Amino acid sequence: MVDDAELKRILEEIKTIAVVGCSKDPAKDAHRVPKYMQFHGYRIIPVNPTATEILGERAYPSLNEVPIPYDAVDIFRPAADVPPIVDQAVHGPAKVIWMQLGIRHDEAARKGEAAGKIVIQSRCMMRDHARLFGGTILE
C-alpha to C-alpha distance for 44 and 27, rounded to whole angstroms: 18
| Type of residue numbered 75 | I
| Type of residue numbered 53 | E
pLDDT tens digits for range 118-136: 999 999 999 999 999 987 7
C-alpha to C-alpha distance for 127 and 104, rounded to whole angstroms: 17
pLDDT along the chain (139 residues), means of 10: 92 98 97 96 97 97 97 98 97 97 97 98 96 78
C-alpha to C-alpha distance for 28 and 119, rounded to whole angstroms: 23
pTM for this structure?
0.95
Residue of 80, 130, 84, 123 whose CA lies nearest to 101: 123
